[in-house]
Every structure is written in structure tokens, then in C-alpha cells.
């Protein structure tokens, strides 16, 4: 659907009764939750029942399983995502009735209106950075409202209404919807080629990030990743606009330069040059960089830096971001949303750090068993070679077939494109039948191994199945 102009954002208090199509999704449910907390009448439908629907029902929403025009009720505004097709009966009826139809991003922009908005964007790291920032600001007493594309491990929530003036939001570039926001502070972690099914080429991706930076309020701040060349180009553009710019990263000259990164079990420590130590409870060099971005935003907001660092030390991750799922028969299982080659590389490198520390501590040299489900036919076609190369960082790779999500199958585009490009030094099996994956993984894994499920599709459900079978409770 076409996005409305950012200048047409409707204040949340003027939306009337709001109906969400596919209310159970991570982003949609979070917006609905905040609206409910603000006293807005909310209804919504979803194709399947879920715990999220039950939670929204407990907060006062009228929720329905399935899609039917009758579910619109007396709605004044209908909220949809890019994934909703024009043939959806509720969307068809809403247009016939002349109701206001908003993209999810426009609904979020309505909630952010009048708040001190912080929008976190980037090809990688935005969910974790937004999550870290939320927890850190909570520890600093800011009590922000927040809307994240994932859920915090500690609370299980991905969005909530806070009592303070700050609103922290993950800004999604996948369909250009981050251009709806007018933040006081914007974060750009990095910019790489992705979502090429929508953009067509990397130049268009970069153009949209430039437009995002141009939407920062006059007198506002850009926090940019100093290790990323495109982010640094955007920093120059922001300075020309008169914005304050704070850069972070390992590159010489970064305003918040990260040094001395040291893995510590499922956490790490590092220094911000000239400022002191930061301790994290989540692994990976990439997370140290995310944390440095959080410190930069805290400075821009005037938050107490010691409290921000304390919040980072207490942060235990976002769900599906190298999330520990359990251990059985001496095998640890983790789950990751990684679905781009750079993300696979970062998570597998962090897992390798963990394995090496365990070995140094006398636990033995376990292997990494990566279970990867490619997400989208277009992304698989664009990045098959890069996915294969990234999986070479594992000792064993199990590649599933493509999770198509919103896309129809493409002839010749399967998980085998990835499996065939895994380097010879890594044991690789292509298992196109999802029903056979759990058996394959438990056959390959031995005590001391780390299994990590990777992908944005239903691969996330495999972790509990693998643990059950390893423990003798599964089929």
C-alpha cells in the first residue's frame, strides 16, 4: 500500500476506534498495546490464535481469529502492514466504507507525535540497539515509551507506554516506512544491501537512508556507526544540515571509540576510550558496538552515564538475538533471527568466541552446529554465495529450504543454492523437509557442541524440539 505523507500524521488522540489487521505480529501488537495503555479503543484480527492475542485481550482489545469484514465493527481507523494483501476482506471493507487506513509506521508515528523521539535504524543491529537503549534509559530513570521489533528477554514485552517524555522506536527501512518519523535523535548503525526485492539496488537503499537522516528535527542529533562507510557519509550530510553528530565504533577518530573488546562467557567487556569500562551480559563484538551507540544516545539525552552503563550490564538480550534456549545431553542450543550474511557472520563469530572460552576453561573443544533457514526467495537468490561463506564459520551446517514468507516460490531458488556454497571445510547437509531437520541435527550434534538456529522464519520452533529429542523426550 502507498504510505501517507509524513506531514499527514494524525495525532493518536484523533484516531478514534482502531482496528488492526494481523494484530498478533511483533510490530502491530506493540503499537496496539501502547494505544490500549493510552485509553484508545482497539480491536484486531489475526490468522492464528496466539499468546499475544490473549495478552491484548486481557488489556481490553477485542480480538478475533481469522479475517472477516464483520470484525471491523465500528472502527474509525484501520492499521495494516506491508504484508497485508489488497484482497484481505477487512481491508476491502475498510476501503469501501471510506475508513482511514494507515500503514503500521503511520500508526507508530501517531504515537510518537509530541514526544522526544529516538529512532534507531540500520541494516543490522537496530532491534538489539533499541532494546539495549530502552533498558539503559529505564535504569537511568527516564521511563521511556518504546516500540521494538522484538521482545525483551527479561519482560517478554516489545512495546509499552512509559511515563517520561522520551519515545524509543525501532525504525524499519525494509519498505521505506522509517521515512514516516521525525525524530529528535536518529541512530544509523550501518547501511548494507538488503531488501533488494523492494529497492532494486543498493543506491536506492542509500538514498532512503539519506532521506531518513534529512527527517531529523532541526537542532537534533545523529548517532552514526564510525566503522561503516555509508553511515559516515550520512554523518557528513547531517553536519551540513547543522545537526549534532556523535560517531561510535572501533575506527580511529570515533567520538566514542571502542577498544579492548574481551569476550566473557555469554557476555563481554570493552572500553570507551577516555571514558571507562562497559560490561555487557550479551556476547559478541557487534553488541559492544550496539552498546556504544546506546551510550552516545544517553549523552545526547543528558542521561546519567553511570546509570546507562549499569543498565547495559543488566541487559540480557532480545528474544531471538542469540537467545539461549537450553541444554540437553551436553549440547547447548541458541536461537537467532539472523537472516542476512552479515548477521550470520556476527552471530557465528560471537558463538566461536564462546566456544573458545569454554575450551580455554577446560570444557573441551566443542563444535558449532549452525541450522540455517534462508528467508525469502529474493534474498536467497541475491545472497546465496554470501550465506554459504558465512556458514563456513561453523563446523557443521544444516541448511533448510527457503521460508518464503510474503513471496511466491521462484523456480530453481531453494536452500540448496546456499548449501552448495558452504566451504568444503564445514560439514554440510541440505535437509529440505522440515520434519526431518530435528532428527538430522540430533544425529550430528555431540556433547560439548553448540547448536544455533538461524533465520527469520519458523526455524525458531526447532530449538525446543531439538532439546526435547536430545533429552529423550522427543520423537
pLDDT tens track for 238-267? 999 999 999 999 999 999 999 999 988 888
Model-level pTM? 0.83
Which stretches of the chain score pLDDT less than 70?
1-7, 473-475
Give me 364's grid cell: 573441551
DSSP 221-259: EEEEETT-HHHHHHHHHHHHTT-EEEEEESSTT-SEEEE
pLDDT (0 to 100) of residue 3: 45
How big is the chain, counted in residues?
Answer: 475
Closest CA relative to residue 272, chosen from 239, 309, 228, 230: 309
Q: Residue 247: how many CA atoms within 13 Å on its side-chain side?
A: 23
Residue 100 near residue 15 (C-beta atoms within 8 A): yes
Which member of 127, 247, 380, 460 is catalytic?
A: 127
Which member of 90, 116, 170, 173 is catalytic?
A: 170
Q: Give the integer Cα–Cα distance in Å for 445 and 466.
A: 10
User: 221 labelled as ligand-binding?
Assistant: no
User: 141 labelled as ligand-binding?
Assistant: no
pLDDT (0 to 100) of residue 153: 77
Q: Give the integer Cα–Cα distance in Å for 282 and 322.
A: 8
pLDDT (0 to 100) of residue 291: 96
User: 442 labelled as ligand-binding?
Assistant: no
pLDDT (0 to 100) of residue 292: 97
User: 123 labelled as ligand-binding?
Assistant: yes
pLDDT (0 to 100) of residue 5: 52
User: 60 labelled as ligand-binding?
Assistant: no
Active-site annotation holds for 170? yes
pLDDT (0 to 100) of residue 193: 78
User: 426 labelled as ligand-binding?
Assistant: no
Residue 321 near residue 290 (C-beta atoms within 8 A): no
Active-site annotation holds for 126? yes
Which member of 77, 116, 126, 247 is catalytic?
A: 126
DSSP code of 323?
E
* Contacts for 218 with CB less than 8 Å, ≥ 6 apart: 241, 242, 243
Residue 12 near residue 189 (C-beta atoms within 8 A): no
pLDDT (0 to 100) of residue 143: 96
Residue 125 near residue 187 (C-beta atoms within 8 A): no
Amino acid at each position: 500500500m502507498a504510505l501517507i505523507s509524513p506531514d499527514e500524521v494524525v495525532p493518536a488522540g484523533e484516531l478514534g476506534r482502531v482496528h488492526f489487521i494481523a494484530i498478533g505480529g511483533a510490530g502491530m501488537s506493540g503499537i496496539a498495546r501502547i494505544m490500549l495503555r493510552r485509553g484508545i479503543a482497539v480491536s484486531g484480527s489475526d490468522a492464528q490464535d496466539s499468546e499475544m492475542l490473549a495478552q491484548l485481550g486481557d488489556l481490553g482489545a477485542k480480538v478475533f481469529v481469522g479475517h472477516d469484514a464483520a470484525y471491523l465493527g465500528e472502527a474509525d481507523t484501520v492499521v495494516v502492514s506491508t504484508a497485508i494483501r489488497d484482497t484481505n476482506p477487512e481491508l476491502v471493507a475498510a476501503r469501501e466504507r471510506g475508513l482511514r487506513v494507515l500503514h503500521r509506521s503511520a500508526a507508530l508515528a501517531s504515537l510518537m507525535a509530541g514526544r522526544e523521539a529516538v529512532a534507531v535504524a540500520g541494516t543490522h543491529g537496530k532491534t538489539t540497539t533499541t532494546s539495549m537503549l530502552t533498558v539503559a534509559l529505564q535504569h537511568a530513570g527516564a521511563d521511556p515509551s518504546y516500540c521494538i521489533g522484538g521482545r525483551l528477554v527479561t519482560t517478554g514485552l516489545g512495546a509499552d507506554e512509559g511515563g517520561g517524555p522520551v519515545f524509543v522506536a525501532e525504525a524499519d527501512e525494509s519498505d521505506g516506512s522509517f521515512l514516516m518519523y521525525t525524530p529528535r535523535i536518529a541512530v544509523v548503525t550501518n547501511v548494507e544491501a538488503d531488501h533488494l526485492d523492494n529497492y532494486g539496488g543498493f543506491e536506492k537503499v542509500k538514498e532512503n537512508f539519506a532521506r531518513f537522516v534529512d527527517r531529523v528535527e532541526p537542532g537534533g542529533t545523529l548517532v552514526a556507526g564510525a566503522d561503516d562507510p555509508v553511515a559516515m557519509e550520512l554523518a557528513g550530510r547531517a553536519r551540513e544540515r547543522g545537526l549534532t553528530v556523535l560517531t561510535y565504533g572501533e575506527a580511529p577518530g570515533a567520538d566514542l571509540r571502542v577498544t579492548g573488546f574481551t569476550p566473557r562467557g555469554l557476555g563481554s567487556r570493552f572500553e570507551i576510550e577516555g571514558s571507562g569500562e562497559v560490561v555487557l551480559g550479551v556476547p559478541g563484538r557487534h553488541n559492544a558496538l550496539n552498546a556504544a551507540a546506546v551510550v552516545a544516545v544517553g549523552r545526547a539525552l543528558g542521561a546519567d552515564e553511570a546509570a546507562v552503563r549499569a543498565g547495559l550490564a543488566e541487559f540480557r538480550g532480545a528474544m531471538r538475538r542469540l537467545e539461549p534456549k537450553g541444554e540437553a545431553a551436553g549440547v547447548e542450543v541458541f536461537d537467532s533471527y539472523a537472516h542476512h550474511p552479515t548477521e550470520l557472520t556476527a552471530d557465528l563469530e560471537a558463538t566461536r568466541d564462546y566456544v573458545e572460552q569454554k575450551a580455554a576453561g577446560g570444557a573441551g573443544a566443542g563444535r558449532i552446529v549452525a541450522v540455517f533457514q534462508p528467508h525469502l526467495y529474493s534474498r536467497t537468490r541475491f545472497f546465496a554465495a554470501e550465506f554459504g561463506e558465512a556458514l563456513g564459520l561453523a563446523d557443521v551446517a544444516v541448511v533448510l529450504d527457503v521460508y518464503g514468507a510474503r513471496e511466491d516460490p521462484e523456480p530453481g531458488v531453494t536452500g540448496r543454492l546456499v548449501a552448495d556454497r558452504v566451504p568444503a571445510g564445514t560439514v554440510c547437509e541440505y535437509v529440505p523437509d522440515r520434519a526431518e531437520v530435528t532428527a538430522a541435527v540430533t544425529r550430528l550434534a555431540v556433547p560439548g557442541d553448540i547448536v544455533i538456529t538461524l533465520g527469520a522464519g519458523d526455524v525458531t520452533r526447532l530449538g525446543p524440539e531439538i532439546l526435547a529429542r536430545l533429552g529423550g523426550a522427543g520423537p
